[in-house]
Structure 1
Amino acid sequence: MPQDQQRLPGRLTAPSPGWTTRADVVIVGSGIAGLTAALRLRKEVGKVLVVTKDVLAAGSTQWAQGGIAAALGDGDTPEEHELDTLVAGAGACDLDSVRILVNEGPEAVRELIALGTNFDHTADGELSLTREGGHHRDRIAHAGGDATGAEIQRALIAAVQAAPDIEVIQHALAVDLLLGEDSSGATGVAGLTLHVIGEGERDGVGAVLCRAVVLASGGFGQVFSQTTNPAVSTGDGMALALRAGATVRDLEFVQFHPTVMYLGPDSRGQQPLISEAVRGEGAFLVDDDGNRFMQGVHELADLAPRDVVAKAIMKRMLDTGRPHMWLDARHLGAEFWERRFPTILATARSHGVDPVVDLIPVAPACHYVSGGVHTDLDGRSDLPGLYASGEVACSGVHGANRLASNSLLDGLVFSRRIAKVLPGELGEWREPSADERAPGLIAGAARKELQETMTSRAGVLRSAAGLTAGADVLAGLAGRVATAVDQESWETSNLLTIATALTMTARLRQETRGSHWREDFAERDDDLYAGHFDVRMADGAVAAEFVPSPQTDPSVGPVAGVVAP
Structure 2
Amino acid sequence: MAALRTESAADRVIVVGAGLAGVATALHLAPLPVLLLGPGLGATASAMAQGGIAVAMGPGDDPACHAADTLAAGAGLCDPDIVAVVTGAGSALVEDLLRRGVPFDRDADGVLERGLEAAHDRPRILHAGGDATGHTVLRTLTDHVAMAHHVTRQADLIARRLAVTDGRVTGLWAVRADGAPVFLAARAVVLATGGVGGLYAATTNPRGACGSGLALAARAGAVLRDLEFVQFHPTAIATGADPMPLATEALRGAGAVLVEETGARLMAGSPQGDLAPRDVVARAIHAARAEGRSVFLDARAAVGADFARRFPTVHRLCRAAGLDPAREAIPVRPAAHYHMGGVAVDAQGRTSLPGLHACGEVASTGLHGANRLASNSLLEALAFARWIAQDILSATAPAHPAPPLPAPSLASGVSPDQFAGLRAVMDRHVGVVRSAGGLEQALRRLAPHAAADDAHLVASLVALAALDRRESRGGHFRADHPAPAPEARHSTVTLAGAFPRLAAFAPVPEVA
Please tell me the TM-score bracket, short chain as reference: over 0.9
Q: 2:252 aligns with which of 257, 279, 300?
A: 279
Q: Which residue of 2 aligns with 1:315?
A: 287
- Matched with 2:492 is 534
Gaps of 5+ in 1: 1-13, 182-186, 482-492, 545-565
Q: Does 1:358 find its partner at 2:328?
A: yes
Give 1:195 shift.
1.9
Q: How do 1:360-439 and structure 2 match up within 5 A?
A: 360-431=330-401, 432-434=403-405
Q: Is 1:192 aligned to residue 192 of structure 2? A: no
Change (3 A) 1:440 1:28: closer
Equivalent position to 1:112, from 73, 83, 97: 97
1:538 CA drift (Å): 2.8
Q: Residue 415 of structure 2 aligns with which residue?
A: 444
Q: Which residue number in structure 2 is paired with residue 513 of structure 1?
A: 473
Report if the CA contact (8 A) 2:412-2:454 is conserved.
Answer: no
Instruction: Tell me the distance in 1 between the aligned counterparts of 2:215 and 2:330.
Output: 36
CA 1:542 to 1:84, structure 2 compared with 1: closer, same or farther past 3 Å? Answer: farther
Q: Which runs of 5+ in 2 are unaligned?
A: 503-512
Match of 1:306 among 278, 283, 301: 278
TM-score between the two structures when normalised by the length of structure 2 = 0.93
Q: CA deviation at 1:15?
A: 5.2
Retained in 2: the 8 A contact 1:196–1:204? yes
Query: Using a 3 Å threshold, how does the CA distance of structure 1 residues 175 and 313 change in structure 2: closer, same or farther?
Result: same
Q: Residue 507 of structure 2 corresponds to which residue in structure 1?
A: none
Do the aligned partners of residues 349 and 56 (structure 1) sit closer, same or farther apart at CA in structure 2, a change above 3 Å counting? closer
| Separation in structure 1 between the aligned mates of residue 18 and residue 109 of structure 2, nearest angstrom | 34
CA–CA distance in structure 2, aligned partners of residues 240 and 393 of structure 1: 12
One-letter code of the match for 1:288?
E
The aligned counterpart of 1:80 is 65
User: Which secondary structure state, in structure 2, belongs to the residue aligned with residue 129 of structure 1?
Assistant: coil
Q: Between the two proteins, what is the percent identity of the paired residues?
A: 42
Q: Could you say what secondary structure the match of 1:346 adopts?
A: helix
CA distance, structure 2, for counterparts of residue 251 and residue 513 of structure 1: 13
Say which structure is richer in strand.
1
Report how far residue 95 of structure 1 moved: 0.8
- The one-character-per-residue Cα deviations of 1:53-84 (angstroms, maximum 9, x if unpaired) are x2245211110101110002111110110011
Distance 1:57 1:270, change over 3 A: closer
Matched, 1:29 2:9: no
Q: Distance in 2 between matches of 1:71 and 1:15?
A: 53
**What corresponds to 2:120 in structure 1?**
135
Shift of 1:430: 3.2
Residue matched to 1:453: 425
Secondary structure at the counterpart of residue 301 of structure 2: helix
Q: For residue 50 of structure 1, what is the aligned residue in structure 2? A: 36
Deviation at 1:296, TM superposition (A): 2.7
From 233, 242, 253, the counterpart of 1:257 = 233
2:501 and 2:474 map into 1 onto residues whose CA distance is 23
Q: 1:130 to 1:123 in 2, by over 3 A?
A: same
Once the two structures are TM-superposed, the CA of residue 440 in structure 1 deviates from its matched residue by: 6.5
In the alignment, the residues of structure 1 paired with residue 286 and residue 56 of structure 2 have an alpha-carbon distance, to the nearest angstrom, of 32
In structure 2, give the amino acid aligned to 1:317. Answer: R
Residues in 1 aligned to 2:396 and 2:230: alpha-carbon distance in whole angstroms: 33
How many angstroms apart in 1 are the aligned matches of 2:500 and 2:83? 29
Q: Which amino acid aligns with 1:280?
A: G
RMSD: 1.9
Alignment partners' CA distance in 2, 1:69 and 1:356: 27
Structure 2 residue 163 is matched with structure 1 residue 178 = yes
The aligned length equals 499
- Deviating 4+ runs (over 4 angstroms): 435-442
Cα displacement string for residues 460-501 of structure 1 (whole angstroms, at most 9, x for unaligned residues): 11000100111111124448x6xxxxxxxxxxx221111110
Alpha-carbon spacing, 1:439–1:114, altered in 2? closer, same or farther (3 Å): closer
**Does the Cα contact within 8 Å between 1:65 and 1:147 map onto a contact in 2?**
yes
| Cα distance in 2, alignment partners of residues 245 and 443 from structure 1 | 23
Q: 2:110 aligns with which of 125, 128, 132?
A: 125
Question: Hey, what does 1:555 align to over in structure 2?
Answer: none
AA matched with 2:426 = M
Contact 1:49-1:166 at 8 Å conserved across structures: yes
Equivalent residue number for residue 225 of structure 1:
201
